[in-house]
Amino acid sequence: MRPFFFGISTPMSALDTVLATIDADRGATLDGLKEFLRIPSVSAKPEHIPDMRRCADWLAGQLMQRGLQVRIMPTRGYPVVVAQNQHIAGRPTVLYYGHYDVQPPEPLDLWKSPPFDPTVRDENGHPAIYARGAVDDKGQVWAHVQAIHAWQQAGGLPVNLTMLIEGEEEVGSENLFAFLREHRAEFKADIALISDTNQVGRGQPAITYGMRGLVYQEVFLTGPDHDLHSGGYGGSVPNPANVLCELLATLHDGDGRVNIPGFYDGVQIPAVEPMAELPFDEKAAAAELGLPFLSGEKS
């Protein structure tokens, strides 16, 4: 039986080589990840600007060692690392997105080990590496870097690959959109791959097909033109704080559905059966967060 990757038939011998390389390089993979995690690439703090550049340079060097053509491309902020293999006509093109910046590590007193000193600990029977960026997003980026290395040992990637790894995700990616508009022809692809999401559980990979986004709005409520004594006016004058609470409460109905007109236009409802098969325990998930219950749409 021959596996298929994006419509490309791949010999079992190549896949065997890939898996064997991954197993053989386990120690080197962990060492490389630790080196990646030691760089304090905190995009939100100006004092880490040199570390941000150092991290981009380090990552670019690692990708070059794996046979890719690499460029460090400037933006109005931190640079973007772009890497490609040889693109061959007729093969599908995959665009991989990741980021090399991390969140600030504060509060430091909550860390059991220093945030930029990667430490492997076995907690709850599962060994894991602890450091800032280990799961957002350096761990995932490094997994793909090592996967590329394994495929190169098997004769090369079976697809055309373009990697875009930016340095501003944790501060809103303010300069990424202008960068993409300026270079949009270079990033045309048949599929975009992002690995900055979760698994269903340990040993249970998942394909995430959608996430909640953010919409920012600023609301101004105007009340009385001077301070009022609550004893004399508390029952007769609308309290702006209460009005705001009433306004926010109307955003969802009693079943958790969003009340904003047009919000669900074009939304495809996922099939219930596959979702029901996932090993998700709602009560356990709530307990893990210290909550009595979770929320969401009842349907």
Tell me how far apart the alpha carbons of residues 235 and 107 are, in angstroms, rounded to a whole number.
Answer: 43
What are φ and ψ of residue 267, in 5° steps? -80, 130
Contact predicate 58/138, CB 8 Å:
no
CA distance 101 to 167: 5
Question: What is the DSSP-derived secondary structure letter of residue 256?
Answer: S
Residue 49 half-sphere exposure toward CB, CA atoms < 13 A: 4
How many Cβ atoms sit within 10 Å of the Cβ of residue 278?
A: 10
Write the burial class of residue 176 (CB in 10 Å: 0-12 exposed, 13-18 middle, 19+ buried).
Answer: buried
Q: Distance between CA 69 and CA 152 in Å, rounded?
A: 13
Asked about 169 being catalytic, the answer comes back as yes
Whether 101 is catalytic:
yes
Which residue among 101, 137, 166, 170 is the active-site one?
Answer: 101
The neighbour count for residue 130, using CB atoms within 10 Å, is: 18
Burial (0-12, 13-18, 19+ Cβ within 10 Å), 132: buried
Catalytic residue among 51, 137, 169, 170: 169
Order of strands across the sheet with 160-166? 69-73, 80-84, 160-166, 93-99, 191-194
d(CA 133, CA 127): 17
Residue in the structure block whose two tokens are 């490609």? 84
Catalytic positions: 101, 169
